[in-house]
Amino acid sequence: MQFLRSPGMNNSWFRNLTVGIAFFFTFLLFSSIGVLLFVLKPSEIISSLLSEEMFYSMKLSMLTSSASTFSVMCCSIPTAYALSRYSFPGKRMVKAVLGLPMAFPELVMGLALLLLFGHGFLGPYLEMAGIKVIFSKLGIVVAQFFVAFPYAVRVIYSTFEDINPRYEQVSRSFGYGEFETFRHVTLPMARSGLFASSVITFARCIGAFGAVLVLAGGSYMHTEVLPVTLYLNISYGNLEMAITSGILLMGIAFLAILSFERFEGGKL
Partner 1 sequence: MSFLEIRDLCLDVGGFELSGIGLKAEKGDYLALIGPSGSGKSLILETIIGFYGLEKGRIILEGKDITDLPPDMRHISIVYQDHMLFPHMNVFENIAYALRKKVKDKKQIETEVKQVAEVLGISELLHRKPTTLSGGEKQRAALARSLVARPKLLLLDEPFSALDTRTREKLREMLKKAIADYSTTVLHVTHDFEDVWALANRVVVIRKGEVMQAGDPESVFKRPSPDFVAEFLGTNVLKGKVKALEGKLAVVEAEGLEIYSTDPAEPGEEVTVSIRPEEVILARETVESSARNILKGKVSGIFKKEHLVVVEVKMGSAEIKAVITPTSCEMLGLEPGREIYAVFKASNARIIR
Residues forming the site for partner 1 (CB under 8 A): 164, 166-167, 169-177, 184-185, 188-189, 191
- Closest contact distance (angstroms) between CB of 82 and partner 1 is 18
| Chain length of the chain | 268
- Closest contact distance (angstroms) between CB of 168 and partner 1 is 9
- Closest contact distance (angstroms) between CB of 109 and partner 1 is 37
Q: Give the whole-angstrom CA distance, residue 179 versus residue 172.
A: 10
Residue-by-residue DSSP string for the chain = ------GGGGG-HHHHHHHHHHHHHHHHHHHHHHHHHHSS-HHHHHHHHTSHHHHHHHHHHHHHHHHHHHHHHHHHHHHHHHHHH---TTHHHHHHHHHHHHHS-HHHHHHHHHHHHSTTTTHHHHHHTT---TTSHHHHHHHHHHHHHHHHHHHHHHHHHTS-HHHHHHHHHTT--HHHHIIIIIHHHHHHHHHHHHHHHHHHHHH--HHHHHHH---TTTS--HHHHHHHHHHHT-HHHHHHHHHHHHHHHHHHHHHHHHHHTS--
Nearer to partner 1 by C-beta: 85 or 132? 85
Nearer to partner 1 by C-beta: 27 or 167? 167
- Closest contact distance (angstroms) between CB of 184 and partner 1 is 7
Of the candidates 205, 201, 196, 194, the residue with the CA atom closest to the CA atom of residue 258: 196
- Closest contact distance (angstroms) between CB of 180 and partner 1 is 8
Q: Give the whole-angstrom CA distance, residue 230 versus residue 210.
A: 13
Nearer to partner 1 by C-beta: 189 or 242? 189
Nearer to partner 1 by C-beta: 42 or 188? 188
- Closest contact distance (angstroms) between CB of 268 and partner 1 is 10
Nearer to partner 1 by C-beta: 132 or 172? 172
Nearer to partner 1 by C-beta: 5 or 267? 267
- Closest contact distance (angstroms) between CB of 256 and partner 1 is 25
Nearer to partner 1 by C-beta: 57 or 171? 171
